[in-house]
Chain A
Amino acid sequence: MFLKPEPTIKDLKGLLESANFTLDQLLNMYYQMNLIREFEEAIGAKYYEGKNPFNMASGPIRGEMHLSSGQEAVAVGVGGNLRKEDVVVSTHRPHHHAIAKGTDIRKLAAEIFGKSTGLCGGKGGHMHLFDKEVRFSCSGIVGASFPQAAGAAFAFKYRGEDNVAVAFAGEGAANHGTFYETLNAASLWELPLIVVIEDNMYADSTPKSVALATPHHFQRAMSLNVPSFLVDGMDVIDVYLATRKAVQRARSGGGPSLIEAVTYRFRGHFEGDGQEYRERDEVELWRVMDPITRLGNRLTKLGVEKERLENERRKARERVEDALKFAEESPYPEPSTALVGVFK
């Protein structure tokens, strides 16, 4: 476990002041994190409709479902530093990254439901979300995000643009050869790449302790001269400030950085996962560190009224309800569209 000590209110104020961090920014992050949580919980609930007895093929949402509840601070802390032109390449657990990058959540929901109004017209689904509008993509293959983001970073540098590319991956993916290969090339060529390792302790069901020879990935990145940040992934401020440094470095031609964010997923690897690989106590312990509650408490201490926080949460919930309604009411794609679009 890696959590930074909770700052006192005086230190927190000082930190925010010195980092030029406004209360409005914090409130916006609170809203974003709530939007992701509400989205994930709503999708989670909808997923089980028609799945008793459990069968992945039945109900309004088919296939595997990987939700990110608990990991909101990583997505929002990183996403808060990005522009529309920056590239994000995500993983099989992509919803929080997509929302933090600014994807239209109506289209996002519709894609998860396999509807024609979805981001990809129902061809990609939950694990293969693409949104060219905000330069977001993902891959269901573990370890695939690293080189793709590096390729976009290469293009930015080649054209002299100051955009950055972000590769998200879990700590399991960081054992893939592409992790080392990409960091080596990106470091060598000083690409504007930010690799974000979301360490939620488990690669599917395999605990980090049995899959990794070192507790941390940043050590490996540093061996390739890639500056690295080990951040508290349950603290959106910590993630945000580290990412800000990494993004500034990348935009100004300084090359890649790695951010290792230690976090936790409150739900299973996939919906339907029996989670026999971890103790209930462990999940409960991490729930105490819920990044949304944590930020809420800080905002309260900073003088934000409870009603205002409740209002942000309500706004988020309403947007999610609207998105799911849109998705459910949208038509399915014309079956014949399955046969077109392999080539442009």
Chain B
Amino acid sequence: MRMKGISQAIAQAISQEMERRSDIVVLGEDVTYWGAVFGFTMGLFDKFGRKRVVDTPITEQTFMGMAVGMASVGLHPVVSLMFVDFLGAGFDQMYNHMAKNHYMSGGQFPMPVTVITAIGGGYGDAEQHSQVLYGLFAHVPGFKVVVPSNAYDAKGLTIRALRDPNPVVIFGHKLLTGLPFLPYEGGEDEVPEEPYELEFGKASVRMEGSDLTVASAGLMVHRAMRVAEKLRKEGISVEVVDLRTLVPLDEETLSRSVKKTGRLLILDEDYMSYGMTGEVTFRVQSRALRDLKAPIQRLAVPDVPIPFSEPLEKEVIPGEARIEAKIREMVS
């Protein structure tokens, strides 16, 4: 079926897996009536009721800890962390327990937990409601980090997460949800009705090109694609690689692309320093240094919080004009 946005796709994936298996329980703030605010759990309450779709009190630390306890005795909780910005209120249970218990216990306690959270700015929600922060999760061993950019990927990656015995965090960009109260920067995808899985650690080449590779994830993939379309008419051939999962990271596809184009721009909506852009740079140069025709470059949030006022926000979140200028500079 045609589907607009990742929210519906994620909700459908959860729904289909819940029908198949009774060990999946959804919990978090506002997961029933509001579908976890950004729609990732919409429709589940009507179908499965409050026994399996549970509104929690506003207690991130506690419901994340409950997910750890649920997983330890054989459930597979799906936990909504409404905005990723709220992770501070629940992070201990995530990075000290959810991510570590399998390792610490010598393999006795796998942690099949799927956390779904909303990321990103671009609509004026300011410092505490507009961050991306997937770098923090990717930095701690024990989480798989999934960043879908379209409905087809979102469904396949969510079903994969629900069948994974490890903690997986799915980062859904708010401007890709397809919800009526938010700007939408995605497209419409053909999404199969039946359940399917997409493998983790497989990047997708969204657009083939020969002059420069843009590596990105989530919303930024769409901005890169639009710029690439525009530049193509001028004879600048850009290859767009959608990383899809940051952990595990598909070094193979990335380095193959860079070997072909010789230039790499890493585009990220997370903070710049010590983040995804640095990690990708390191991994690519270690595999394809001799193939580089120019130094690797990056565009990311320049280490300031995301400000409120529109011109300020536009200044820090990479937009198409800046992406275009950067690419032009790199290929000239």
A residues near B (Cβ < 8 Å) are 87, 89, 118-124, 128, 130-132, 135, 137, 139, 141, 144, 146-156, 158, 165, 177-178, 181-182, 184-185, 188, 341-344
Q: For residue B63, which residues in chain A have a CB less than 8 angstroms away from its CB?
A: 147, 185
Q: Is the CB of A156 within 8 A of B57?
A: no
Residues of B within 8 A of A123 (CB): 103-106
Q: List 24 A-B contacts (CB under 8 A).
A: A87-B69, A119-B106, A128-B104, A130-B101, A135-B72, A137-B72, A137-B101, A144-B96, A147-B63, A147-B64, A150-B65, A151-B68, A151-B69, A151-B70, A151-B71, A152-B70, A152-B73, A158-B75, A177-B59, A178-B59, A181-B59, A185-B56, A185-B66, A343-B144
Residues of chain B from 94 to 135 with CB closer than 8 A to chain A in the complex: 96-97, 101-110
Instruction: Point out the residue from B51, B93, B103 that lies within 8 Å of A144, measured CB to CB.
Output: B93
Contacts of A118 in B (CB 8 A): 106
User: CB distance A158 to B25 under 8 Å?
Assistant: yes
Chain B residues contacting A150 (CB-CB under 8 Å) are 62, 65-66, 69
Chain A proximity mask over B56-92: 1 for CB below 8 Å, otherwise 0: 1101011111111111111101000000000000001
Residue of chain A at shortest CB distance from B74: A155
Top-7 shortest CB links A-B: A151-B69, A147-B65, A130-B105, A151-B66, A120-B106, A121-B106, A181-B62
B32 within 8 Å of A by Cβ?
no
Q: Is the CB of A155 within 8 A of B104?
A: no
Question: Which residues of A sit under 8 angstroms from B97, Cβ to Cβ?
Answer: 139, 141, 144, 148
Residues A342 and B102 in contact in the complex (CB < 8 Å), given A130-B108, A152-B73, A178-B62: yes
Q: Are B59 and A185 in contact (CB-based, < 8 A)? A: yes
B51 and A130 contact, CB distance less than 8 A: no
Is the CB–CB distance between A184 and B104 below 8 Å?
no
Q: Which residues of B contact A146 (CB under 8 A)?
A: 62, 65
Cβ of B92 and Cβ of A144 under 8 Å apart? Answer: yes
Taking the nearest CB of chain B, how far is it from the CB of A116, in angstroms?
9
Inter-chain contacts of A153 with B (CB < 8 A): 69
Chain B positions 236-256 with a Cβ under 8 Å from a chain A Cβ: none
Whether B142 sits at the interface, judged by CB under 8 Å, is yes
Total interface residues on B, CB under 8 Å, equals 40
Query: Once bound together, how far apart are the Cα atoms of A8 and B74, in whole Å?
Result: 48
- Contact bitstring B34-73, A, C-beta under 8 A = 1, else 0: 0000000000000000010000110101111111111111
**B69-A152 in contact (CB<8A):** yes
Smallest Cβ distance from A303 to chain B, in angstroms? 43
Any chain A CB within 8 A of the CB of B216?
A: no
Contacts of A152 in B (CB 8 A): 69-70, 72-73
Say whether A147 contacts B73, CB under 8 Å: no
Option from A132, A144, A177, A342 in Cβ contact (under 8 Å) with B109: A132
- Residue-by-residue, is B207-227 near A (CB-CB < 8 Å gives 1, otherwise 0)? 000000000000000000000
Tell me how far the C-beta of A157 lies from the nearest C-beta in chain B, rounded to whole angstroms: 10
State the Cβ distance, B244 to closest chain A Cβ, in Å: 17
Chain A residues closer than 8 Å to B302, beta-carbon distance? none
Q: Is the CB of B73 within 8 A of A341?
A: no
Closest approach, in angstroms, between the C-beta of B139 and any C-beta of chain A?
Answer: 13
Q: Which residues of A contact B75 (CB under 8 A)?
A: 154-155, 158
When the two chains form their complex, are residues B56 and A165 in contact, meaning their CB atoms are under 8 A apart?
no
Judging by beta carbons under 8 Å apart, are A341 and B102 in contact? yes
A343 touches B166 (CB 8 A): yes
B146 to chain A, nearest CB (A): 14
* Contact in complex: B106, A137 (CB < 8 Å): no
Q: In the complex the two chains form, is A341's CB within 8 Å of B107's CB? A: yes
Q: Is B192 at the interface (CB under 8 A from chain A)? A: no
Q: Min CB distance, B69 to chain A, in Å? A: 2
Task: Tell me how far the C-beta of B6 lies from the nearest C-beta in chain A, rounded to whole angstroms.
Answer: 24
In addition to A123-B105, A130-B109, A154-B66, 12 A-B residue pairs with Cβ atoms within 8 Å of each other are A130-B106, A144-B92, A148-B65, A148-B93, A150-B66, A152-B73, A177-B61, A184-B57, A185-B57, A342-B141, A343-B144, A344-B166
Q: Complex: how many Å from CA A158 to CA B67?
A: 13
Known: A181-B61, A182-B62. A137 touches B67 (CB 8 A): no
Contact B73 A156 (CB under 8 A): yes
Q: How far is the CA of A87 from the CA of B69 in the complex (A)?
A: 9
Report the minimum CB–CB distance from A222 to chain B (whole Å): 18
| B165 close to A (CB within 8 Å) | yes
Question: Cβ of B70: which chain A residues have Cβ within 8 Å of it?
Answer: 151-152, 154-155
A155→B25 CA distance, assembly (Å): 9
Known: A87-B73, A154-B70, A344-B166. A178 touches B65 (CB 8 A): yes
Give the docked Cα–Cα distance between A342 and B93 (Å). 16
Q: How far is the CB of A215 from chain B (nearest CB, A)?
A: 25
**Given A137-B105, A141-B96, A343–B142 Cβ distance below 8 Å?**
yes
Q: Give the distance to chain B from A239, nearest Cβ to Cβ, in Å.
A: 23
Return chain A residues, CB-CB under 8 Å to B105. Answer: 119-120, 123-124, 128, 130, 132, 137
Cβ contacts under 8 Å, B64 to chain A? 147
CA distance A122 to B68 in the complex (A): 22
Given contacts A148-B65, A156-B73, contact A131 B108 (CB under 8 A): yes
In the complex, A158 Cα to B73 Cα: how many Å? 11
Residues of chain A within 8 A (CB-CB) of B74 are 155
In the assembled complex, which residues on chain B have CB atoms less than 8 Å from the CB atom of A343?
A: 102, 142, 144, 166
Q: In the bound complex, what is the Cα–Cα distance between A129 and B116 (angstroms)?
A: 29
Residue of A at shortest CB range from B107? Answer: A341
Residues in B with CB closer than 8 Å to A137 are 72, 101, 105, 109
Q: Which residue of B lies closest to A151 (CB)?
A: B69
Q: Chain B's nearest CB lies how many Å from the CB of A197?
A: 17
Identity of the chain A residue whose Cβ is nearest the Cβ of B111 in the assembled complex: A344
A342, B109: Cα distance in complex, Å: 11
Whether B104 and A124, one on each chain, are in contact in the complex, defined by CB atoms closer than 8 angstroms, is yes
Q: Contact between B69 and A147 (Cβ–Cβ < 8 Å)?
A: yes
Given contacts A147-B61, A181-B61, contact A342 B103 (CB under 8 A): yes
Closest B residue to A148 using CB positions: B69
Asked if residues B57 and A132 are in contact (CB atoms below 8 Å), the reply is no
Least Cβ distance of A29 to chain B in Å? 27
| A residues in contact with B104, CB < 8 Å | 120, 123-124, 128, 130
